[in-house]
Amino acid sequence: MGDGWIQAMRDERYGDAWAIERRIRAARDPATRDDPALPYHRRWVWDGTPVGDRDVLVRCYHGLGDTLQFARFLAPLAARARSVTLEAPARLHALLRTPGVTLAAFDPAHPLPPSGCDVEITELAGALRLAPRDAPAPYLHAAPAPLPADTIGLCWQAGDWDAERWVPPTSLAPLAARHRCLSLVGASTDLRVLNPEGCPFDLPATAALVAGCALVITVDTMIAHLAGALGRPTWLLLKHEPDWRWNPARRDSAWYAHTRLYRQATPGDWSVPLAAIAADLEGEDHGQPAQPVGARLLG
């Protein structure tokens, strides 16, 4: 969308961001809408058609994290539209069940035919003209797994497409040695965690683990959005120049009220945010003795 849109979103000037989106839509060639020659994540879908009292097809063409982030707008959409069909990866369906929304599995080889009004899920904020605060977390729900008290969930790797979001697991070894931790990564680890075999490759099961954690410490990946959408206290490790949805000048998040941001001071160096997390866990940031995680307000 460009730097102007990114800054407007970070500053929570959503009206300005939506105006930029309108100008971009007006300049597009309608023949390129949902262009099958492009990868799904590069397609545009919504042509500006109002969603009120229409049969709306919501397509999930981006990553799992994007889908979870914007799922907050499904219930408001269902309240306005005549009908809503959500075309989403089947592995997300158990988490995305919403009254008034029909779920359909997204098959990249055979997507659903166009509806009366097609919208990509990340376009819902502009289509509804709703800010994150208009649909606050928690908006997803999962029964918590029976974990020991004060368990901290750890996720240190993101998708292969952005290795700059990965934290070397050895950097988390001191934290895992001092606190009761759980891996939220789908691979085995040598870290001292409750589940060295890793997290199951099953999103409902992962959601239950996240819901059972007293705190989630994660890099910018799907786990961050899952924890945020569930309303769990989340400490988010960010690279020096983070994604558009995180304001590098702030410690809090407009998208998730219980999320706290820990950004790299210099590109590639995780030592500063990890030291800040260690200090916050021990209560050194406010000069008080260390307390159990569950005994303090987090987020």
Q: For the segment 170-203, what is each residue's pLDDT rounded down to a tens digit?
A: 999 999 999 999 999 999 999 999 999 999 989 9
Could you tell me the two tokens for 77? 């959409």
Give the Cα separation of 142 and 210 in Å (integer): 9
Q: Is the pLDDT reported for residue 290 higher than 90?
A: no
Name the more confident of 140 and 283: 140
The fraction of the chain above a pLDDT of 90, given in percent, is 90
Pick the closest to residue 102 from 58, 51, 53, 40 (CA basis): 58
Could you tell me the two tokens for 141? 């729900």
User: What is the per-residue DSSP string for 280-291?
Assistant: HHHTGGGT----
Provide the sign of the torsion angle of the four alpha carbons 273, 278, 279, 281, taken in this order.
positive
- pLDDT given at position 296: 46
Domain definitions of the chain by residue range: 3-24+35-133, 152-295
- pLDDT given at position 92: 97
Q: Any idea what the Cα angle at residue 217 is, between residues 211 and 223, rounded to 5°?
A: 60
Q: Is the peptide bond before 138 cis (omega within 30 degrees of 0)?
A: yes
- pLDDT bin (cut points 50, 70, 90) of residue 285 is very low
**What value does the mean pLDDT of the chain take?**
93
Q: Is the pLDDT reported for residue 161 higher than 80?
A: no
The secondary structure element, H or E, covering residue 160 is none
Give the Cα separation of 48 and 118 in Å (integer): 10
Q: For the segment 62-118, what is each residue's pLDDT rounded down to a tens digit?
A: 999 999 999 999 999 999 999 999 999 999 999 999 999 999 999 999 999 999 899
Per-residue H/E/C for 208-243 = HHHHHCCEEEEECCHHHHHHHHCCCCEEEEECCCCC
pTM exceeds 0.85 for this model = yes
- pLDDT given at position 68: 98
Q: What are phi and psi of 258, to 5 degrees?
A: -100, 20
Looking at 3.40.50.2000, 3.30.1330.20, 3.50.50.60, 3.40.1360.10, the CATH number of the domain 152-295 comes to 3.40.50.2000
- Contact in structure between 67 and 120 (CB atoms under 8 Å): no
Q: Is the pLDDT reported for residue 24 higher than 60?
A: yes
Q: What are phi and psi of 166, to 5 degrees?
A: -85, 140
- pLDDT given at position 293: 52
- pLDDT bin (cut points 50, 70, 90) of residue 286 is very low
Q: For the segment 204-250, what is each residue's pLDDT rounded down to a tens digit?
A: 999 999 999 999 999 999 999 999 999 999 999 999 999 999 999 99
CA 219 to chain centre: 11
Question: Residue 95: exposed, middle, or buried by beta-carbon count in 10 A (0-12, 13-18, 19+)?
Answer: buried
